[in-house]
Amino acid sequence: MSEAPCQAEETVGLFAGQHVLAELSGVSADLLDDEQFLRHALGEVLTQADATVLEVISKKFDPQGVTVLALLSESHASIHTYPEVGSVFVDVFTCGTRAKPALAVQLLADALGAAHVSTDLVTRGIKEHAA
């Protein structure tokens, strides 16, 4: 029997989650254009935040910028970099209660050496289960 999207093992059937939307700035342009570093960093911070990473894909753009997407058992995460302004958009959505999307964003900000972090947290699904 396969696990349905947004259902962690200990919260099967829980239609709830947290969606963290972030903007990081003051980041080295070199890091924001390093596709392999970004893939590795995203996978590592998600694992440290108790998310289950299934696959990571990426695309490097010309002349600059990288998009990295992580498919999670708990949902997804993405980063979209803008080296020319030292900034990156980060999106981490996890269902259930095990994974910690806000921690993943903070760990990524630390890994990138971001000077400024702005986040919004959206509680999704059945609100009393998402906290």
Catalytic status, residue 19: no
Q: Which is the catalytic residue, given 95, 116, 118, 129?
A: 95
What's the first-to-final CA gap in the chain, in angstroms? Answer: 28
Catalytic-labelled residue, pool 75, 78, 87, 116: 75
What span, in angstroms and rounded, lies between the C-alpha atoms of 51 and 20? 14
Catalytic residue among 25, 58, 76, 80: 80
Q: What is the DSSP string of 16-43?
A: EEEEEEEEEES--HHHHT-HHHHHHHHH
Q: Is 75 tagged catalytic?
A: yes
Q: Which residues sit opposite 21 in a β-bridge?
A: 91, 120
The residues that are catalytic are: 75, 80, 95
